[in-house]
């Protein structure tokens, strides 16, 4: 039995849940001190014309202690009061993340795919997870990378225990057409078995047990845009589960799997969020308690002689859409979040007490986040070449000799500094050589 700590999925997913926007470069772009300085670097060779931004994140499970019990911190004064509260603590498992950003400052960050084993977050702050499987492009990766994710017994086993955990990632990039390649970005995580909140008092069992394979998949790709030669950005999150067992002899059969998709065409009229809500059949001791679907998304299940109530809730779909205008291109962006199943232990909404967390604990199975952004008219799959400026006579100017130094700010400053320093050094040598040698004379004693 392989075990793992818990997922940094909480912090990573919280970052994805933020208002969808044209993704900022993964690495901040340093600006010049003097606006008139030449650029830090210049394109070399043919460049892809495509502009596309998209990401998808899917988490297997997240346990939140005291959900909505901590204030959201922000660098903007007073803005934290306008944001939803966060959980006091979060522990999670298995994040599959696929990101595409043609505007990334570093070429190696144009496509990033990750499969994270486990981690935690305290009031929204999450450290980097060790053992994360990552594949990045550029350069291109013709083959995916797959392996068993690391795990070992930990003190958190009473809270979260997992079986064999596997991950697979694939990041692609074409040197001339950029993201116009298939597949583009794909990440998967799967766990053979999972139990959450083990040894529930009074039951002698785990609160949640997933005995069969539980799989999360995130994918970003470019798809055909109807009536156009251009492409649209499509981000998709999918979950695969068979059944879920709860304490108190409660069983949940997953009749229909959830799928969440964001399609950005660059135009608000044709961009859309598509969500296939899960269908869950709930039984207790062989007796059917109800069916959770899009029309009936919530069900309360009593445990421990009705003293403990578990609230089951699916979907929780939330959407955000907006136009954007950037330096390189303008268009339309959209994003959405959803969950396969939320379980709230001891919900507090009926207590009517101010500032209480919404529940003692909340377990989310199958967290899904998607975002996509495309320029107006769609993504252009083509290659741009640097044109040669014409001369005064209208003829093409002869090719210029390549500069001896790289096209950087340091190059322009280093050339004059080098020659000035050399001239001063030679002048100093000549002056010293021309000066007469002064010898000290000693007087004889008594002179």
Answer yes or no: is pLDDT of 21 > 60: no
Answer yes or no: is pLDDT of 141 > 80: yes
284 or 423, which is more confident = 284
Q: What distance in Å separates the CA atoms of residue 135 and residue 428, rounded to the nearest whole number?
A: 56
Residues 6+ apart with CB under 8 A from 341: 244, 252, 278, 280, 292, 312, 313, 314, 364, 365, 366
> Would 131 be classed as within a structural domain?
yes
- Alpha-carbon Rg for the chain in angstroms: 30
> Would 221 be classed as within a structural domain?
yes
DSSP 8-class letter at 108: G
Q: What distance in Å separates the CA atoms of residue 171 and residue 219, rounded to the nearest whole number?
A: 10
Mean pLDDT, residues 187-201 taken together: 80
CA angle 140, 50, 236 (to 5 degrees): 70
Mean pLDDT, residues 334-351 taken together: 78
| pLDDT tens, residue by residue, 218-247 | 999 999 998 899 999 999 999 999 999 988
| pLDDT tens, residue by residue, 357-416 | 555 667 788 889 999 999 999 999 999 865 444 434 444 444 444 333 333 333 334 444
Q: Are 342 and 280 in contact (CB under 8 A)?
A: no
Cis geometry, peptide bond prior to residue 139 (ω within 30 degrees of 0):
yes
Torsion of CA 116, 122, 127, 131, to 10 degrees: -30
Side-chain half-sphere CA neighbours of 88 within 13 A: 11
Count of domains for the chain = 1
pLDDT confidence of residue 4: 32
Label residue 43 by pLDDT band (50, 70, 90).
low
DSSP of 335-387: EEEEEEEEEEEEE-TTT--TT--SEEEEEEEEEEEEEEEEETT-B---EE-PP
Domain range for 57 = 9-25+47-384
Q: Is 64 exposed, middle or buried (0-12, 13-18, 19+ CB in 10 A)?
A: buried
Q: What distance in Å separates the CA atoms of residue 297 and residue 282, rounded to the nearest whole number?
A: 12
Mean pLDDT, residues 248-254 taken together: 91
Residues 6+ apart with CB under 8 A from 13: 57, 59, 62, 92, 95, 367, 369
| pLDDT tens, residue by residue, 142-182 | 999 999 987 555 555 666 677 888 999 999 999 899 999 99
Extract the tokens encoding 432. Answer: 């010293």
> Would 33 be classed as within a structural domain?
no
Q: What element of type H or E holds 319? A: strand 308-325
Q: Quick one: which of 359, 421, 321, 326 has its CA closest to 88?
A: 359
Q: What element of type H or E holds 343? A: strand 330-347
DSSP 8-class letter at 404: S
Torsion of CA 287, 293, 295, 296, to 10 degrees: 40
Measured distance between the N- and C-terminal CA atoms of the chain, rounded to whole angstroms: 103
DSSP 8-class letter at 33: S
pLDDT confidence of residue 208: 85
pLDDT confidence of residue 123: 54
> Would 96 be classed as within a structural domain?
yes
> Would 332 be classed as within a structural domain?
yes
pLDDT confidence of residue 439: 47
331 or 446, which is more confident = 331
> Would 273 be classed as within a structural domain?
yes
Q: Is 305 exposed, middle or buried (0-12, 13-18, 19+ CB in 10 A)?
A: exposed
Other residues' Cβ atoms within 10 Å of the Cβ of residue 285: 9
Mean pLDDT, residues 249-273 taken together: 95
pLDDT confidence of residue 389: 43
Q: What distance in Å separates the CA atoms of residue 180 and residue 188, rounded to the nearest whole number?
A: 21
| pLDDT tens, residue by residue, 299-325 | 988 776 555 677 788 878 899 999 988
pLDDT confidence of residue 426: 54
Ranking 59-73, 101-115, 135-149, 431-445 by mean pLDDT, the lowest is 431-445
Rounded to an integer, what is the distance from CA 265 to the centroid of its chain? 21
Q: What is the mean pLDDT of the chain?
A: 74
pLDDT confidence of residue 306: 53
Ranking 115-124, 168-177, 345-354, 362-371 by mean pLDDT, the lowest is 345-354
């Amino acid at each position: 039995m392989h075990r793992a700590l818990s997922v940094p999925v909480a912090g990573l997913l919280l970052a994805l849940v933020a208002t969808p926007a044209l993704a900022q470069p993964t690495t901040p772009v340093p600006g010049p001190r003097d606006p008139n300085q030449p650029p830090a670097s210049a394109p070399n060779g043919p460049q892809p014309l495509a502009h596309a931004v998209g990401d998808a994140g899917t988490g297997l499970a997240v346990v939140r202690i005291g959900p909505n019990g901590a204030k959201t911190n922000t660098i903007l004064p007073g803005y934290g009061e306008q944001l939803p509260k966060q959980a006091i603590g979060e522990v999670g498992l298995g994040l599959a993340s696929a990101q595409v950003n043609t505007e990334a400052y570093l070429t190696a960050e144009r496509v990033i795919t990750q499969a994270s084993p486990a981690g935690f977050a305290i009031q929204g702050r999450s450290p980097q997870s060790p053992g994360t499987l990552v594949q990045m492009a550029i350069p291109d990766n013709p083959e995916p990378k797959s392996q068993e994710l690391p795990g070992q017994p930990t003190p958190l086993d009473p809270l979260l225990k997992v079986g064999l955990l596997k991950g697979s990632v694939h990041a692609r990039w074409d040197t001339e057409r950029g993201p116009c390649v298939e597949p583009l970005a794909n990440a998967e995580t799967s766990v053979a078995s999972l139990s959450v909140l083990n040894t529930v008092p009074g039951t002698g069992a785990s609160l949640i047990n997933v005995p069969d394979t539980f799989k999360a998949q995130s994918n970003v790709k470019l798809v055909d845009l109807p009536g156009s030669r251009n492409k649209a950005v499509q981000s998709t999150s999918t979950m695969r589960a068979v059944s879920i067992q709860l304490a108190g002899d409660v069983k949940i059969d997953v009749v229909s799997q959830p799928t969440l998709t964001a399609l950005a065409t660059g135009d608000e009229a044709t961009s859309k969020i598509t969500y296939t809500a899960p269908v869950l059949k709930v039984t207790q001791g062989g007796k059917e308690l109800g069916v959770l679907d899009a029309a009936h998304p919530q069900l309360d299940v009593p445990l421990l002689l009705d003293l403990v109530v578990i609230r089951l809730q699916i979907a929780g779909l939330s959407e955000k859409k907006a136009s954007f205008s950037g330096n390189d291109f303008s268009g339309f962006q959209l994003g959405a979040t959803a969950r396969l199943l939320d379980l709230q232990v001891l919900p507090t909404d009926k207590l009517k007490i101010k500032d209480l967390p919404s529940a003692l604990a909340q377990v989310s199975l199958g967290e899904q986040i998607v975002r996509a952004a495309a320029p107006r008219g769609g993504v252009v799959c083509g290659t741009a070449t640097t044109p040669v400026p014409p001369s005064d006579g209208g003829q093409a100017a002869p090719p210029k000799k390549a500069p001896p130094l790289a096209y950087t700010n340091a190059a322009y400053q280093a050339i004059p500094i080098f020659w000035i320093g050399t001239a001063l050094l030679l002048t100093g040598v000549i002056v010293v050589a021309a000066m007469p040698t002064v010898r000290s004379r000693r007087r004889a004693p008594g002179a």
